[in-house]
Amino acid sequence: MIVDLPDTTTSQVSKSLVKIREEGGVVALGRVLTLVIATTPGAEEEAIEAANDASREHPMRVIVVSTESGAERSAAPPRLDAEIRVGGDAGASEVIVLRASGDAALDEESLVMGLLLPDAPVVTWWPGAAPEVPGRSALGRIAHRRITDASTQPDPQAALEALATSYTPGDADFAWTRLTLWRAQLAAVLDQPPYESVTGVRVTGAIDSPSTTLLAAWLHLQLSAPTEYELTSVEAGSHGIHGVRLERASGAVELVRDVPGVATLRQPGQPVHDLALPRRNLRDCLADELRRLDPDELYGEVITSGLRALLDAGHDGEVTHDE
């Protein structure tokens, strides 16, 4: 069911929610968190679809705040249009879409405060452009977790460095979440004999892949070995991480993804293995991040200390970029 509320107020939206609850049952029963999605007009549906899918694992209230950019916002008259989705149109959640323009969009915090679930954690997600300092933004201040996506920015590598500068405990980025399968596979390899130290690391990927840089930073931090990472120009089908090479005394371990979704593992003295290693979609990344509402300390260490150590090592020629 979808209820449209044109030219409304947050108070009227809240009253409509109460009415829907009284007529159709306690739709908020069992909701474990409030997810606030900050986006722009025309980009709402993809984020809502991912949230609806993730809600089957994490029942929640979804509040979508859709506003224009600065210049377009100031030129528009003040207005708030809302939409409430429940039942089959909202997965296992309830979705409130707030489309604000003009002065009505200036105070995003006030737009959502009256709609948050009581005594439930708040997660804010920016699927597209994010504030310079998410933790100090209007929607970031009210959140326990703040999720960004460096890969959607015009310059993903610069966005990654900006995240390192602005990091606040509770921040997260999908560039890190997409590494879960890579990290698990590499950790499994290193947990098998021979238990040798890694003497060198090389990571390759596309220049539009901040995950490649974060993977190199994580390996550099964990293995304390000279680390190179190469970012290549984007060609058809060459997005994301391409491969990892770990040098050891007995020979190199290589995990290379030449085919989308499939990686090849080569180890000295062992058969070659093909492994399923797909690029994680929005639904999987969002569901993964919602599994924990406390700060991700490892991500914090990698985005700050690990990335800085990697970039500093680059000044000595250990990091290469091929654009």
Written as tens digits, the pLDDT of the chain (323 aa) is 889 999 999 999 999 988 887 776 545 456 889 999 999 999 999 999 999 999 999 999 999 999 987 656 667 789 999 999 988 767 767 999 999 998 888 899 999 999 999 999 999 999 999 999 999 999 999 999 999 999 999 999 999 999 999 999 999 999 999 999 999 999 999 999 999 999 999 999 999 999 999 999 999 999 999 999 999 987 655 789 999 999 999 999 999 998 889 999 999 999 999 999 998 999 999 999 999 999 999 999 999 999 999 988 864 333 444 43
CA-to-CA distance for 92 and 161, rounded, in angstroms? 36
> Where do the structural domains in the chain lie, given as residue ranges?
2-148, 180-314
Q: Rounded to 5 degrees, what are φ and ψ at 249?
A: -60, -35
Q: Which residues, in sequence order, are CB contacts of 129 under 8 Å at separation 6+?
A: 40, 152, 153
